[in-house]
Every structure is written in structure tokens, then in C-alpha cells.
Chain A
Amino acid sequence: MPGILVVAETSEGAVAPISFELLGAARQLSAQGGGSVSAVVAGGEAEAKALIAHGADSVYTADAALAGQSADASLAAVEAALQGSGADIVLIGTTSFGRDLGPALAFRQKTGIAMDCTELKFDGGRLRATRGCYGGNARAEHTWKAPLQIATVKPKSFDAPEADAGRSGSVSATGAAGESKVKVLGVSKAESAGIRLEDAQVVVSGGRGLGDENGFRALEELASVLPQAAVGASRAACDLGWYPPAAQVGLTGKVVSPNLYIAVAISGASQHMAGMAGSKNIVAINKDPDANMVKAAKFAIVDDYKKVVPALIEEIKKLG
């Protein structure tokens, strides 16, 4: 029986939000005739329950310790789930883990993988995937030559289904043991004061036009007067060492889709837009009226941020 296999991920001991988004995508494909939805996770009963509540019909569990290892250690578990479920579509998140696991799985299975897909359709019995390319300047649509169709899905592209504790599904342990020749010696998490960039309702981002890292102090202050706000950065600003890479928004950074994205001194290169174009409302503060970010914005101020940002902080405080 053809079907869809979702490769779930955990983060800090719970199923990661991207996995629920993958289930949202999988349920859509299932409704279009794609078959039943299974999921595989390095975890136990609790994770399986959460996945079923969010749309999985069956869950394959594997050793939770795999989560801390190199992605290729999970290949055996995913392949066991693939065999068990008979799925002909595999959905994986475009995350550090998925960017490694997906291509490795594809080459082992001798099939293609479409990376970072934003749209998926089940059409005439086969998957059709849409993805950005050329830095976001173009879009490509793909199908697969081999029967097995693997895609990684860009975060924030699909809505997670509402949890329904009444849903039932089967759970089985894969028993697959995984190992990797690549040993993890250590991990250092980027410390984020307050709310996570991906979860923020408001993102205040700064670019090369800030001029120096002090510009980010002003943006942090602006974020502090806005509820549920976090600070992001362009790659140019990260490369200059003004802000940590974990705050980078864009093609090779984080994908955010807040209610409000305030882009300060960011030109709006396609690779940056690839990480924030899904924002509900964009505000640009830029000296250049022709900057791409200004064109993409709902509201823009064309002026020096050094004067605008402190004034904006005061005005917001006044409004209370």
C-alpha cells in the first residue's frame, strides 16, 4: 500500500514543531489520495501519542539516543519504517538533521530528493513538488523518476493540524540499531535571551547598513518594547561578527513568519527574503528608497535608522 512517511524530529525531549507541519503536509497529500500517514521518531510512547494526535495513522519508534547522534545513525530506523509502512513518499524537515538525513537516504535508495519544498501536490498518483531555487529568484517544479519520492519541507510552509487526543493509531518499535562513523564530541546551543526567533510574533532584524554591532543594541531595545519580539540578522551582519549565526534569517539561516517583521538597514536580497517573505506584515527602515526590502514592505521609512529607531522606541513607549 503506498503511503506517506513523515520523519519526525525531537528537540529538548519533545516532538519538534516542524514534525507537526510535516504531518499537516502529509494529511493534505493523504486527502488527495496519497494513502495513509505514518511517522518514524527517535522516541517512545509520549512522542508517538503526540504524532498520532497530530495526524499520524501509525508510528514507528526508535532508540531516543539517536537524536543526539550524527544524522546517518538514523538511516537504519527510517529504512525500517519505510519497509514496514510501504510508503512511497517520505517527508523530512529542512533542518540541520533533515539536510543531512534526506540526501543520504535518497542516494541509498537510488532516488532523487527535492530539498526545501514549499508546496506539495499529489497528482495522478505521483508527488509534484515546488521549491525555490537561484536564491529565491526562481521556482522549480519536480517529479521523480524512481518510485520512491523524497522531499524535505521548508519550515513554516504548512500548518500543523490541531491536536486531537481522540485519534488512534498503531505504534511499533523498529528495533533498528544505528551507528555512525562520525562521533559527536560536543554541542553548544546558541543562547537566546527570551523568545525563540521562530516563535516570535515580532522580529526586528538588522543588516550591514547598521554599520557596527552597536546597531544591534538599538534593535534589542526596540524588540524589548514590543511584545513577543526577537532579534534577527542578515547574513552580511552575521558574517561581520555583529550577531551570532543562529540569528541569521534566510535561505541558509532561519525561516520566520511573524505577524510583524521590521527590517532595519537590510537591502532585501533574494536569499534573505527566502527566510522571511512569509511574514504577515513587513516594515522596512532603509536609506535607499529603491531597496528591494522597501518594495516588499507594507510600510517603509526612508531615512537613517540611527535617527529613526530611537524615535520609534520613544513613540512606542508613549503609545503604551
Chain B
Amino acid sequence: MNIIVCVKQIPDPETPAASFKVDEAAKKVIPAQGIAPVVNPFDPQATEAALRLRDAAGEGKITVISLGPDSARDAIKHALAMGADEGVLLNDAAFEGIDNFQTAVALTKAIQKIGEYDLVLMGRSAADWDMGVVPAGVGQLLGIPVVTVAKGIEKNGAALKVERVLDDGFQTVETPLPAVVSVSNEFGEPRYPQLRQIMLAAKKTVQVWSAADIGMASDELGAGGRWLPLDALYVPKVESNVEIIEGDSPEEKARNLAQKLRAAKLI
């Protein structure tokens, strides 16, 4: 079973609000001092799913793709250290400023160039733009089925059985292969690479492909080629008007709160 996993490097989504800053003129997030970028938190879950499927099948190759700057190599290395086999970094100045739609086109072209795949795994969404559209895009562009927000994935003969998380419960579906499946946090904790695996990963190959290597024309690229132009990016203002409820004991605080809530007709 040959699996392609797409991983993205993003600013740490746990960055405290106080350290989160935006350059409004450039419409870009200013990297927070001392907080390194991370792999999008849902993507190691996609890699974990790939590893479990490969191990269950007893054969197959896992190729990891990331589109991003030079530093995105770290996101690929992380997946290789988890146990994936090979990496492809899509890296080109022309990718600067592109949106999720152009990204989906580029990933699709890279997947077509890799050629042999039974399954494409992704995270349910990337925690920078919080869009969750690339899995659907790659599926549509490749003309293969898409299953999103997976919490469990199992091979079922020639098909794949996927348990999904819905707004109000769970759903089990079956899809033929090849397919795109996006994975959610409910899938469970991904394995953590050990030092020995990190060292082994250093020997695995990471190819670097440019826009031209995957056959993307320059007019499709850059911020000018966005399908969804970005007109403004800013940090909304929040002000605090909290009233801390006083009291000598937790019980007294609770009594004071109950009275305040009653006075405000909230209970």
C-alpha cells in the first residue's frame, strides 16, 4: 500500500495571544520571538494513520510532501523520523503568498508526479488559516473520493473503512481507493520519534521540487494568483472588564457570585 502524506509547517498555534502579532501592511503574521514553527498539529496524526496502515498491510511506501519555505524540511524530517520513507519539499519563491487553493493545485501536481499511490492522507485543517479545504481540493483535482475528519481508518478488502467525527456523533463510511482522507485529533496521539529514529531519518532522501518541476505556470502563482485574495489581516481588539468576586473562603465567593448572578437576572 503506497501512501502519500501531506504535512504543513505553521507558526505554533499555542502561541500566547500576547505574543501573536500581525504586520497589517504586509498582511502577514510576524513570527513570535523564541517560538519555533511547528508541524500543523493534525498532520502527525495523518502520518500516524499512514504508519499503522502500512504496518497492517506489511508492505508499501510512505512519501511525505510539504509545500513551504526551507524550514518546512523540518516538518518532513519529523514525519521521516516517525517512520515515513521518503520526502518531497515543494520549495520556490513563487509559492510565497499563495492561498489554500493554489496550494491544493501544487500538491495535486506533485502527487501526480509521484504517480503511484493508493491513499493520500492529510490533516483535517491547517491551524494557520483554519480553512480545511486542501483535502477536498486535491480529491476534486485528482478525481478521487474524499473522506474528512477521520478518527479511525481500516483497510477493508480493496476498500477503506473510515470512522468520522460529525457535529453530533459519528459516522462510518466506506470508500474505494485511491482516496483522500483527512485525519482529526480524535484519531489519538501520534507516536513520538526516538533519538535513534531521528538519526536514521537524517539519511532518508528529501527531494526538492520547484514550481517548474511540477509544471506550474508563473501566472498561477504568487499572491497575484490567489483564488481568494486577502484584503486585510488584523488582530481583533479585546478588552477586559472582569469583576473578580471577592470572599474569605471559596464558599463565600460562591455565595457572592450566586447573588451577583441573581441580581443580574442571569439565574
A residues touching B (Cβ–Cβ < 8 Å)?
A: 70, 72, 95-96, 99-100, 102-104, 106-108, 110-116, 128, 132-135, 137-146, 180-190, 202, 226, 235, 238-239, 245-246, 251-252, 254, 259-260, 269-271, 281, 283-284, 289, 292, 294-304, 307-309, 311-312, 314-316, 318-319
Determine whether the beta carbon of A128 is less than 8 Å from that of B231: yes
Q: Is the CB of B242 within 8 A of A315?
A: no
Contact of A292 among B17, B129, B229, B249 (CB under 8 A): B17
Q: Are B253 and A104 in contact (CB under 8 A)?
A: no
Contacts of A134 in B (CB 8 A): 11, 13, 20, 29, 127-130
A189 to B168, Cβ gap below 8 A? yes
Whether A311 and B255, one on each chain, are in contact in the complex, defined by CB atoms closer than 8 angstroms, is yes
A311's partner among B146, B165, B250 (CB-CB below 8 A) is B250
Contact flags (1/0) for B40-70 with A, using CB distance below 8 Å? Answer: 0000000000000000000000000000000
From B101, B147, B231, B249, give the contact of A141 (CB < 8 A).
B231
CB closest chain-B residue, reference A297? B242
State which of A116, A144, A185 has its C-beta within 8 Å of the C-beta of B228.
A144
Closest CB in chain B relative to A186 CB, distance in Å? 5
Q: Which B194-238 residues have C-beta < 8 A from chain A?
A: 226-236, 238
- Determine the distance from Cα of A145 to Cα of B231 in the docked complex, in whole angstroms: 12
Give the residue name and chain of the B residue nearest to A108 (CB).
B140
Assess whether A181 is in contact with B167, with CB atoms less than 8 Å apart: no
B13 touches A135 (CB 8 A): yes
Q: Say yes or no: B22 contacts A138, CB within 8 Å.
A: yes
B243 touches A103 (CB 8 A): no
Pairwise interchain contact B17-A137, C-beta atoms closer than 8 A: yes
Q: Are A226 and B267 in contact (CB under 8 A)?
A: yes
Give Cα A104 to B252, complex, Å. Answer: 55
* Complex-state Cα separation, A132 to B229, whole angstroms: 15
Residue numbers of B with Cβ under 8 A of A are 11, 13-15, 17, 20, 22, 29, 99, 101, 104, 124-125, 127-133, 135-137, 139-141, 145-149, 161, 165-176, 179, 184-186, 226-236, 238, 240-245, 249-251, 253-255, 257-262, 264, 266-267
> For A251, what are the chain B residues with a Cβ–Cβ distance below 8 Å?
130
Contact partner of B171 among A187, A281, A296, CB < 8 A?
A187
Q: Is the CB of B185 within 8 A of A299?
A: no
Cα(A239)–Cα(B186), bound, Å: 7
> Could you list 15 examples of A-B contacts with CB < 8 Å?
A99-B148, A106-B136, A134-B13, A137-B15, A138-B236, A139-B236, A141-B232, A145-B226, A146-B227, A180-B145, A188-B169, A245-B165, A252-B184, A301-B244, A318-B258
Residues of A within 8 A of B171 (CB): 184, 186-188
Contact A112 B99 (CB under 8 A): yes
In the bound complex, residues from chain B placing their C-beta under 8 Å from that of A316 are 258, 267
**Complex partner residue of A315 from B124, B131, B255, CB under 8 angstroms:** B255
Q: Across the interface, name the chain A residue whose C-beta is closest to B130.
A: A133
Tell me if A295 and B242 are in contact (CB < 8 A). Answer: yes
Q: In the bound complex, do residue B240 and residue A139 qualify as a contact, i.e. CB atoms below 8 Å apart?
A: no
A106-B133, A134-B128 known; A142 vs B229 contact (CB < 8 Å): yes
Closest B-chain residue to A107, C-beta based?
A: B140
Please list the 5 inter-chain residue pairs (A to B) with the smallest Cβ-Cβ separation, ordered nearest first. A112-B228, A103-B136, A311-B254, A307-B250, A315-B258
* Complex alpha-carbon distance, A41 and B200, angstroms: 54
Q: Complex Cα distance A91/B126, Å?
A: 22
Residues of B within 8 A of A106 (CB): 101, 133, 136-137
Kindly list 6 other residue pairs between chains A and B, CB separation below 8 angstroms, not including A134-B20, A312-B254. Answer: A107-B136, A112-B99, A180-B145, A184-B173, A187-B169, A295-B238
